[in-house]
Structure formats: C-alpha cells, structure tokens
C-alpha cells in the first residue's frame, strides 16, 4: 500500500496510507479517488446520503430510513465499547462513515464505477486522506459485515499504522457475534484443528511479511484470527504483549514485530499456540457463528 500525505485533522498532522479491506471473499488494494456521484452512461450513481444517523464515532448514511433505535446500531455502539476495553484504546478520533445501500445492485454498480479494479465483495472499508469509509448494502449478513468493517475503521482512527495481517486478524476476531469479545468462530476453529492434525505449522513472521491484501489467502485470515485470539486469551503475559504493541502503534509506524516480542517473552510460544488452538473447537458451545441480534428488516 502506498502512503501519501494526508490533510491536517483537528488533532494532528499525520499521514494515512490508502487502505482497502473487503469482506465476502479476498480483498484487493488500490489507490482510490472517492466521490459522491458518478456518471454511468445516462444514469448517475449516487452514494446513499438521503438519511443520516450519528452516534458517537459512527455516521450511517443510507438511501432508506433506518430507525434510530435499530438493534444493529446498538450492537455497533456496544462493539466500540468492547474493543476499547479489550484493546486498551481510546476511540475519539475521526468518525467512521458507513455508506449503506438498500439495493445490492446499486451498491455493486457504484463500486464498479468508482473503483473499477475492485473485485465483487459484500462490503469494503476504504481509508483515504479524506475519510474512513465503509461501503455495503443491506443483506442477510449485514451485522457480521459491519462489525468487521467498523473494526477496521476504529483501528485506523486510533493508530498511526495497522499492519495488514493484524488489521485483518482483529477484524475477524471482533466480527464474531456473541455476548462478549472473543466468541469463537466455529468454522475457523474446526479448520485449524484439522490443519494441526495434518501437520500444519503456524508462522506469524510470514504473516508479518505480507504487505498487500492480495497476498493473503483464506488460510492466512484464519491464522491471523487465531494469533489474536491466542494472545488475548492464553495468559496475562501474551495479552500484555499484544496490548503493548497496540499502544506503540499509536505513535510508531514500525514498532518491534510481535513475533520478536513473543519469542522473547515466551520462547515456547509456537507449541503453546498449537496447544491453545487445538482446544478452541472443544471450547465452542455449539451455538453457531452468527446468532443475529439485528433483524435484516431495515424498517421505514
């Protein structure tokens, strides 16, 4: 991803790398130009801006009316608090704007026109010098998608830099719907358990070397999720390693890598990781990955 000079915010002058993260498949990175209205032949494709809802750091712009008390908005507010508490971060930076289309076709039409190089995905997070923006449409997995992309937005609002694998690992971690942060993703737990049985070896240093999203395979997303889950839940020491790293990312774009810190603090971290991940499938209560608290009916 290519860094470029950002505009001066109300807090400080900082650079923000252009970052594109998509869900519903693999992602892609590109230098983008954001605009609100695009001409496609005779018809213009507009961003959904007819209705606006604002709550703390969240701004939802939609082409349909969403009730102020919709459970989805409450879930995102709760998620922000959970992430702040879990990660020791204060989220008081730039707003995260969610452009929410009612119609899937209009959403894809806008993206194809605004960003013709992007593959088709259910949702995208795009960080630019102007804004932290999420683009998506109202579908059956809207809650999961928004939790994932909103997490990207919150991280990019609080940190100078978010390493690719770490960004995706945290988003995968917090997208899972549950009563508290850290609810296990049963699909990932099952696949990782089978991989370990077949001799798979984790390699966090390899994940740290990935700089472009198209380098990440689906297995890399699972491993990134597992490393985040391991560090946050294994022991107080592994948790502190992650929290210290996060804290340094607020002021340092290139702090010492997590792999180096883990090796120093916990020399046997790889065997501990394998043992921990092997038990995740058993820890899962069997209630499925997506217990919905937000109805797919938008109302209004």
The per-residue pLDDT for 225 is 98
CA distance 12 to 9: 6
Question: Tokens for 28?
Answer: 């892609």
Domains of the chain: 19-164 (3.40.30.160), 186-283 (no CATH)
With contact defined as beta carbons under 8 Å apart, do 22 and 121 qualify?
A: yes
Position with higher pLDDT, 212 vs 22: 212
With contact defined as beta carbons under 8 Å apart, do 92 and 57 qualify?
A: yes
Pairing of strands 43-46, 37-40: antiparallel
Name the DSSP letter for residue 257.
P
Q: Tell me the H-state helices in the chain.
A: 71-87, 104-114, 142-158, 164-175, 186-197, 204-209, 218-233, 236-249, 258-265, 269-283
pTM: 0.83
Q: What is the pLDDT of residues 87-118, one digit of tens each?
A: 999 999 999 999 999 999 999 999 999 988 88
Question: Which is nearest to 140 in space by CA: 118, 121, 122?
Answer: 122
CA distance 115 to 118: 6
Could you tell me what percentage of the chain is helix, strand and coil, using 3-state DSSP and rounding each to the nearest 5?
Answer: 45, 15, 45
How does the average pLDDT of the chain come out, rounded?
84
Band the pLDDT of 22: cuts 50, 70, 90: low
Q: Which helix (H) or strand (E) holds 61?
A: strand 58-62
Please, which residues bridge with residue 20 across strands?
A: 126
């Amino acid at each position: 991803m290519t860094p470029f000079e950002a505009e001066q915010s109300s807090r400080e002058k900082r650079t923000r790398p252009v970052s594109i993260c998509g869900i519903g498949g693999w992602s892609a990175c590109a230098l983008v130009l954001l605009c609100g209205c695009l001409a496609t032949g005779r018809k213009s494709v507009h961003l959904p801006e007819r209705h606006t809802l604002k709550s703390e750091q969240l701004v939802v712009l939609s082409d349909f009316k969403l009730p102020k008390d919709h459970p989805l908005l409450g879930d995102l507010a709760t998620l922000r608090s959970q992430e702040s508490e879990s990660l020791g971060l204060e989220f008081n930076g730039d707003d995260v704007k969610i452009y929410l289309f009612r119609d899937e076709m209009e959403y894809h039409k806008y993206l194809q026109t605004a960003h013709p190089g992007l593959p088709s995905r259910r949702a995208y997070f795009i960080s630019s010098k102007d804004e932290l923006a999420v683009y998506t449409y109202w579908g059956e997995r809207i809650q999961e998608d928004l939790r994932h992309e909103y997490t990207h937005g919150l991280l990019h609002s609080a940190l100078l830099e978010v390493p690719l694998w770490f960004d995706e690992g945290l988003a995968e971690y917090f997208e899972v719907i549950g009563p508290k942060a850290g609810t296990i993703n049963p699909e990932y737990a099952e696949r990782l358990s089978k991989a370990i049985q077949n001799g798979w070896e984790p390699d966090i240093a390899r994940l740290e070397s990935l700089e472009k999203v198209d380098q990440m395979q689906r297995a890399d997303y699972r491993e990134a999720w597992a490393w985040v889950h391991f560090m946050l839940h294994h022991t107080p020491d592994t948790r502190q390693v992650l929290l210290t790293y996060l804290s340094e990312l607020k002021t340092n774009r290139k702090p010492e890598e997590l792999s180096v810190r883990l090796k120093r603090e916990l020399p046997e971290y790889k065997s501990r990781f394998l043992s921990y991940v092997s038990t995740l499938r058993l820890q899962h209560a069997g209630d499925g990955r997506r217990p919905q608290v937000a109805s797919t009916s938008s109302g209004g």
